[in-house]
A and B are shown apart, each in its own frame.
Chain A
Amino acid sequence: MNIFVQCFACMLATMFFGMLLGQPRQTLLHTVLIGLNAYVLYLLLDGSVLAFFLCGLLAGLLCELTARLKGMATTLFLISAIIPVVPGLGLYRTMMFVAAADYPHALQVGTETLVGIGAIALGLTIATAIFANIRFPSTNNERNEQGDLHARPDHQR
């Protein structure tokens, strides 16, 4: 039960966050679903460093794929899609320990948080690298192999 409430909250949070950043309307649904996927994976794997990495990888792959299918920039999807996984709670707990002058715990939780962020970044990086080497059959000549940028000007063909 609790899990379902959390997942629903995750979808709402992703949506409102995306709207706050001025995300185009037609990308919101995709972002919410990708964010939900990443968050469910994160819950299933119970917050280890590996979980952060896999969530980053999953969100990155799905965002790159969606961006190519829609012919829009990957960043538009990525920013709000990874927000449910970003360790805000870890940051808060670190600060609680710092405030209580409990430095060993602060260092431990702080390091965990930083490593988590690094793991997400690594997952995203690998997803980007994988897609940078895939050429999609272009159905529409405005899409180049990068998918998220522009048509190649005629004189470069």
Chain B
Amino acid sequence: MRFFGTLFGKGAEDLERTDVAVQAVVLAARTILESGGETYRAEETVMRMCNAFGMPDAEILAFPTGFTLAVRKPDGGTETRVMRIQHRRINLGMINDVNTVSRNAVAGRLTAEEALAAITDLRAHPLPPAPRQIALFALAAGAFSVMFGGGIKECLMCCLVGAVMQACMPLYAIARLPLLLVSLASGVLAAGLSGLLLSLFGGGQAAVISGAIMPLLPGLSMTNAVRDTMRGDLLSGMARATEALLSAVMLAAGVAVVLML
């Protein structure tokens, strides 16, 4: 009987609503993973949102590089989605915003349509503008160099190096450099530019170079690796630990190559 009901129009609206709900859930998981969130956060968000949208029978398996999701729809069919996460970029604000949307959805304050619209809206303007990023990177690098015992001269040099490093980031994206080569290139840039400035103006090499590479050290990957592993997500934990280790090594290798010259 249920089958005929679905077949003859009664369930059409239901079906459409389910479709929107699945879209919203998939977009939420994708956004969290693309912003560098923990895999367990993506999984929990999806499970809770599925529950709230009337699809309690759902299962998701997420990795830092993708996820698969299977939900049993109210009409009895199963919907499976597989998504590859291509670009990852740390954005803590985005993780927080998606979290808020999903909380509201779970509390019943947002329908599936509204949740989908809210997340789409969030994704439309993901990051602060480039000049602001350059300024922030420069200031952070300068502050780190003072932390490592640099004076005003070292601080200014480090700011300059940091600004150039961040300004080159969009170029790496255009050239589609893999993540690890970006670390290598940044390391080369940090050491090369610092070396040039130091030979012109003199100063403490350690403070400048280590200050400039500090903002690029994979702190988020390392922390998330620990947190994922603690939750029993061994695959995600290992993947992130490898990522953290390799990008630190590549960064250092870039510096070492220049220092050897």
Contact = CB atoms under 8 A, between A and B. Distances in A.
Interface string B135-150: 0110110011011110
A5 B255 CA distance: 27
Contacts of B127: 22
B198 to A, nearest CB: 13
A121 B222 contact: yes
A125 B230 contact: yes
B144 A149 contact: no
Contact of A150 (B44, B90, B230, B256): B44
Interface of A: 5-6, 9-10, 12-13, 16-24, 39, 72-73, 75-76, 78-79, 82-84, 86, 88-89, 91-96, 98-99, 117, 120-121, 124-125, 128-129, 142, 149-151, 153, 155-156
Interface string B1-33: 000000000000000000000000000000000
Contacts of B56: 155
B38 interface: yes
Interface stretch (B74-82, B110-118, B174-182, B205-213): B205-213
Contacts of B102: 150
Interface of B: 37-38, 41, 44-45, 48, 51-52, 56, 90-96, 99, 102-103, 106-107, 127-128, 133, 136-137, 139-140, 143-144, 146-149, 206, 209-211, 213-215, 217, 219-220, 222-227, 230, 248, 251-253, 255-256, 259-260
A155 B96 contact: no
Contacts, number: 156
Closest 5 CB pairs of A and B: A13-B143, A9-B146, A16-B140, A99-B259, A92-B210
A150 B248 CA distance: 33
B144 A9 contact: yes
Contacts of B48: 149-150, 153
Contact of B106 (A20, A22, A150): A150
B96 A76 contact: yes
* Interface class of chain B by DSSP: helix
Given A20-B136, A91-B248, A150-B103, 17 more contacts: A13-B144, A19-B136, A21-B91, A21-B220, A22-B93, A73-B96, A75-B37, A82-B223, A83-B217, A88-B211, A92-B210, A92-B213, A95-B253, A150-B45, A150-B99, A150-B106, A153-B51
A24 B99 CA distance: 12
B128 A22 contact: yes
